[in-house]
Amino acid sequence: MEITPLCIGNRCAKLPIVQGGMGVGISLSGLAGAVAAAGGIGTISGVEIGFNWPGYRRSRRNANREAMLWHLAEARRIAPEGVIGVNIMVALTDYEQTVAAAIDGGADIIFSGAGLPLSLPALAEGSDVKLVPIISSAKAASLLVRNWRQKHGRTPDGFVLEGPLAGGHLGFTREQIEQAHGDYALEKLLAEVLAELDRIEARVPVIAGGGLYHGSEAARLLAMGASGVQIGTRFVTTKECDAPAAFKQAYLDASEEDIVIIQSPVGMPGRALSSEFIKSVQLGEKNPTGCMANCIKSCGRQAAPYCIAQALMNAAKGNLKDGFTFVGSRVHLADTIVPVKDLMENLHREIADFQLPEGIDMI
């Protein structure tokens, strides 16, 4: 199929591939810069980005801001012409400060999910940064377009539609996740979102993701009308991914049976790899250990059996005994660590080689 660049406003990437933001510390400047340099959109995760920055214990806010500015400059150094985004969860207690730091650091795009980014246009006012909410339904797309038009006189510059097969926190109930190949299949959700955006005359690019591994799967979604695809898990097993070796090894060792849906302390289900840590939480053996960062608005920190910030930071430092790894539903396919450039070329070739059946130019 013919490959069309992905343009979010005036920011265009040669390949319609967005590397999904992965926190804590999994997609920083190393991965995002490499993806942007290879022609895709690279995304830095904004969640506790300063977790290993000097002075983090003393002042999280300062460390997070300094780290954000540094990682954006570093990604730009790696990919001077590339498109660099930052992923910022609406549920962060430091949402406003994180958005400000991303703008000050010169991010091209802010991707924002885990809640509805209703205040984002006001926070970005006066800047040229492109705003792309992450959604999981046509209803959310519609609500955001209407709200932003009414309150801020603008529409989102695009949407990421994340289906229930994705890694990390999921915007679906457990029952909906069970129907990931039925009523809540990404293809079905995509058709609904595109139809709704058409209906309300907000034809902005939609980037679809969650459970994609091969270029042919990406191509199918592009042929259905997606302007781009978002991929997370597959980028973890790359040379440039910022995750430590133990984290990448857990991906290489994973089998399909190891993938579990957990109930995260922040009140959402999440897809993760089973581990001794996860098993002891499920058995009720973990007790609240205190909140170290007060990072997520919706966190049930009083009753939570563990601090998710601490667990994810431990994993990001390679200590998987006291943490866990979020994964997408195709993690078991990972079997080798490759340079980002090779992976992008591979995906590019697979998309280009994809053929629609004779006589059909769109699914």
Residue 63 touching ligand FMN (CB under 6 A): no
Pick between residue 200 and residue 216 the one whose CB is nearest to ligand FMN: 216
Q: How far apart are CA 340 and CA 324, in angstroms?
A: 24
231 binds ligand FMN (CB under 6 A): yes
By CB under 6 A, name the one of 68, 124, 166, 347 that touches ligand FMN: 166
DSSP 215-275: HHHHHHHHHHT-SEEEE-HHHHTBTT-SS-HHHHHHHHH--GGGEEEEE-TTSSEEEEE--
Q: Nearer Cβ to ligand FMN, position 149 or 346? A: 346
- Per the CB < 8 A criterion, the answer to whether 66 and 74 are in contact is no
Rounded CA gap, 222 and 354, in Å? 10
Tell me the C-alpha distance between 281 and 275, whole Å: 10
Give the total of residues touching ligand FMN (CB under 6 A): 30
Give yes or no for residue 45 binding ligand FMN (CB under 6 A): yes
Contact 209, 230 (CB under 8 A): yes
20 makes contact with ligand FMN (CB under 6 A): yes
32 lies in the binding site for ligand FMN (CB under 6 A): no
Residue whose CB is less far from ligand FMN, 67 or 114: 114
Nearer to ligand FMN, 66 or 162 (CB): 162
Shortest reach from residue 215's CB to ligand FMN, in Å? 13
From the list 134, 189, 262, 268, which residue makes contact with ligand FMN (rule: CB under 6 A)?
134
Cα angle value 144/147/149 (rounded, 5°):
105
Q: Which stretch binds ligand FMN (CB under 6 A): 94-102, 163-171, 181-189, 275-283?
A: 163-171
User: Which range, of 138-146, 295-303, 322-330, 352-360, touches ligand FMN by CB under 6 A?
Assistant: 322-330
Does 233 bind ligand FMN (CB under 6 A)? Our answer is yes
Judged by CB under 6 A, which of 40, 210, 215, 265 binds ligand FMN? 210
- Measured between its terminal Cα atoms, the distance across the chain in Å is 12
Quote the tokens at residue 223.
Answer: 């042929």
At 17 the three-state DSSP class reads strand
* Nearer CB in complex with ligand FMN: 6/166: 166
d(CA 72, CA 33): 9
Closest Cα to residue 239, out of 17, 77, 78? 78
- Residue 275, interface with ligand FMN (CB under 6 A)? no
Interface with ligand FMN includes 230 (CB under 6 A)? yes
Supply the minimum distance, in Å, between the C-beta of residue 106 and ligand FMN: 20
* Contact pick of 87, 155, 238, 264 for ligand FMN (by CB under 6 A): 87
Only segment of 183-191, 303-311, 320-328, 344-352 that touches ligand FMN (CB under 6 A):
320-328
Q: How far apart are CA 37 and CA 33, in angstroms?
A: 6
Tell me the two tokens of residue 19: 């590397």
- Cα separation of 316 and 245, whole Å? 10
Going 328 to 330 to 335 to 336, the CA torsion angle's sign is negative
Give strand pairing partners of 114: none
Strands 228-231 and 206-209: parallel
The verdict on 168 binding ligand FMN (CB under 6 A) reads yes
211 binds ligand FMN (CB under 6 A): yes
Interface map 102-121 toward ligand FMN (x if CB under 6 A): -----------xx-------
Q: Does 37 bind ligand FMN (CB under 6 A)?
A: no
* Lookup: tokens for 43: 């995304």
Contact positions toward ligand FMN, by CB under 6 A? 20-23, 26, 45, 47, 87, 89, 113-114, 134, 162, 165-168, 209-212, 230-233, 326-330
